[in-house]
Amino acid sequence: MLRVAITGNIASGKSVVDSILTSKGYSVFDTDEIAHEVLATSYKIREAFKDFDITNYKGEISREKLGKLVFTRPELKKTLEEIIHPEIRKELNKIFEYNSEKDFVFIGIPLLFEAHFEDMFDKSILVMTDDEIRLERLMKRNNLSKEDAQLRIDSQMPQEEKVKKVDYVIKNNSSLKDVEIEIEIVLNQLLNNKD
């Protein structure tokens, strides 16, 4: 089994690539979903952030409130990551074990390098999008001000640094058809190099 990371900075279009791979019959998992599950169930997060208003009216952890807090306070972001990242690592190991008979397992993992998960993967793909497009997408998608969106973008390793660390790059600046063509090229390279 080849363990392939799909990474990319916020609003780069990783989910588009994930969807295309899924439609082709590949197993694709997303660490954001794992992180959301941890957020919903973690007593450790509630305890670590008990002095802050991070819950909604139902008493559940609000990702929006927590996000605003951690993206303006680096020390709190670090605390959150120290709780979530070990849980993600455990879940990834379970996914790899359960899918060990498959040729490929693709994992959408935005913070591949920032969270030091690269040791868990055989190959990596970067979904790369121009910064202006990402900023616009993020503001629209998350209903953020330009300043809040820029804070989130700036909290990640620059794309130019990630390019040097990955095996493949898929550019997501134009049409869906162009992205599909780039995915086909990467899949062919992976198939030719899987042994």
In the chain, what are the domain boundaries? 2-192
Read off the pLDDT of residues 5-35 as tens digits, 9 standing for 90 and up. 999 999 999 999 999 999 999 999 999 999 9
Give the model's pLDDT for residue 101: 95
Q: How far apart are the first and last CA of the chain?
A: 9
Give the model's pLDDT for residue 164: 97
Give the model's pLDDT for residue 195: 59
Residue 156 gets which letter from DSSP?
A: S
Read off the pLDDT of residues 35-73 as tens digits, 9 standing for 90 and up. 999 988 889 999 999 999 999 999 899 998 998 899 889
Strands of 2-7's sheet in order across: 27-30, 104-108, 2-7, 123-128, 168-171
Euclidean distance between CA atoms 79 and 69, whole angstroms: 12
Question: The domain 2-192 belongs to what CATH superfamily?
Answer: P-loop containing nucleotide triphosphate hydrolases (3.40.50.300)
3-state helix, strand, coil in the chain (%, to 5): 55, 15, 30
Read off the pLDDT of residues 78-115 as tens digits, 9 standing for 90 and up. 999 999 999 999 999 999 999 999 999 999 999 999 99
Q: What DSSP element (H or E) covers 104?
A: strand 104-108
Whether the model clears a pTM of 0.85, i.e. scores above it, the answer is yes
Give the model's pLDDT for residue 55: 92
Give the model's pLDDT for residue 124: 98
Give the model's pLDDT for residue 65: 93
Q: Has residue 174 got a pLDDT over 90?
A: no
Give the model's pLDDT for residue 193: 79
Per the CB < 8 A criterion, the answer to whether 179 and 17 are in contact is: yes
Q: Has residue 145 got a pLDDT over 70?
A: yes
Query: HSE-up of 3 (CA within 13 Å, CB side)?
Result: 18
Give the model's pLDDT for residue 155: 86
Question: Of 133, 123, 124, which Cα lies nearest the Cα of 162?
Answer: 124
Give the model's pLDDT for residue 40: 87
